[in-house]
């Protein structure tokens, strides 16, 4: 049966129209689902009972099971179980600007980035839009909070699940749905250039982040196999086109790996690569895992890297570290659970 959380308002309008009903019923249903957060269609009082019975036959109000929840300072990490018993993760981070939730878009990941725990356990399947929506709803309900920002940067490559991600954005952005503003939604990609162009044409005004992590093809291809399909030149060309079309600033994510991509030479190369681009670089201290040999760059190395970018007029920030005590590296909680650790 179709999950009600995976249906857009436009699809519901068409559904009611096909039944000979007024399309404003879609707004009414959305308000019950997303504002009043009902768990049973029988709770609806402003739609006639015969129509409620039809809705119950065609849709379900489903749920996610919380398998575990780990907490550290300003961070909570959830491990969810899906209907098919697969596991996914979501991480809630408390910032001074609000509650930011990093959600998963796939069960596993096929990008095989060598530093990433998610890619160690290969992609099983895509998540439906409903399974992405439910990560937000379940955590808001569990903690009785309002999530102010959503980042598609958990397990999976969002643009490898493009259609479901776009549907998710439409539902989250819908004023009668979760009603999260476009600028409070960020999609991260490892560099699927063909999908970046599709994203440009779709005209979504959400934020775009690029997992770059290296300033040249030789190094990036070693740690990110996607670079062999779409090299840095192709990626930067697509990003420039995105900025031209949207007039939006792009974020480049850069994980700091000890003695791999944290040298002064890498900082200078990165500065030259991004010069003149409307962007900023987010330097990310690496979250070490038990399965992967990479180590986190020292604080001094990160600060020196930061200074070189600054001196070359590149906008740069250093991401605050979250959740080292709660297996906050992407995919780490899931992989430990699957392997009985």
Active site residues: 89, 330
Cα-Cα end-to-end distance for the chain? 35
Which residues have CB under 8 Å from 123's CB, separation 6+? 106, 107, 108, 109, 110, 156, 160
CA-CA distance, 80 to 249, in Å (whole number)? 33
Q: Is 101 in a helix, a strand, or coil? A: strand
Pairing between strand 125-126 and 106-107? antiparallel
CA-CA distance, 50 to 328, in Å (whole number)? 47
Contact 166, 202 (CB under 8 A): yes
DSSP string computed for 148-163: -EEEE-SSS-GGGGHH
- Which of 198, 226, 201 shows the shortest CA–CA distance to 212? 226
Which residues have CB under 8 Å from 313's CB, separation 6+? 275
Residue 118 structure tokens: 């998610």
Pairing between strand 2-3 and 87-95? unpaired
- Which of 40, 47, 32, 43 shows the shortest CA–CA distance to 63? 40
């Amino acid at each position: 049966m179709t999950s009600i959380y995976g249906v857009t308002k436009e699809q519901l309008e068409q559904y009611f129209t096909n039944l000979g009903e007024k399309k404003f019923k879609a707004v009414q249903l959305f308000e019950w689902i997303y504002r009043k957060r009902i768990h049973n269609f029988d709770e609806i009082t402003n739609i006639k009972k015969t129509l409620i019975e039809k809705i119950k036959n065609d849709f379900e109000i489903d749920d996610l099971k919380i398998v575990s929840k780990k907490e550290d300072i300003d961070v909570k990490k959830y491990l969810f179980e899906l209907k098919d018993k697969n596991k996914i993760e979501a991480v809630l981070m408390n910032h001074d600007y609000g509650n930011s939730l990093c959600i998963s878009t796939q069960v596993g990941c096929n990008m095989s980035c060598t530093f990433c725990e998610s890619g160690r356990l290969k992609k099983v399947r895509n998540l439906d839009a409903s399974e992405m929506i439910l990560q937000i709803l379940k955590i808001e309900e569990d903690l009785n909070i309002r999530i102010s920002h959503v980042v598609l940067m958990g397990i999976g490559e969002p643009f490898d699940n493009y259609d479901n991600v776009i549907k998710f954005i439409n539902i989250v952005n819908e004023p009668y749905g979760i009603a999260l503003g476009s600028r409070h939604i960020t999609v991260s990609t490892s560099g699927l250039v063909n999908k970046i162009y599709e994203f440009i044409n779709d005209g979504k005004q959400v934020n775009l982040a690029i997992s770059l992590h290296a300033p040249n093809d030789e190094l990036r291809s070693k740690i990110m196999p996607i670079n062999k399909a779409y090299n840095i030149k192709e990626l930067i060309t697509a990003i420039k086109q995105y900025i031209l079309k949207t007039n939006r600033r792009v974020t480049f994510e850069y994980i700091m790996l000890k003695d791999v991509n944290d040298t002064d030479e890498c900082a200078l190369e990165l500065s030259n690569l991004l010069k003149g681009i409307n962007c900023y670089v987010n330097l990310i201290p690496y979250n070490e895992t038990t399965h992967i040999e990479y180590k986190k760059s020292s604080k001094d190395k990160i600060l020196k890297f930061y200074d070189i970018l600054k001196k070359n007029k590149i906008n740069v920030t250093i991401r605050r570290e979250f959740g080292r005590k709660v297996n906050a590296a992407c995919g780490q909680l899931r992989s430990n659970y699957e392997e009985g650790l």
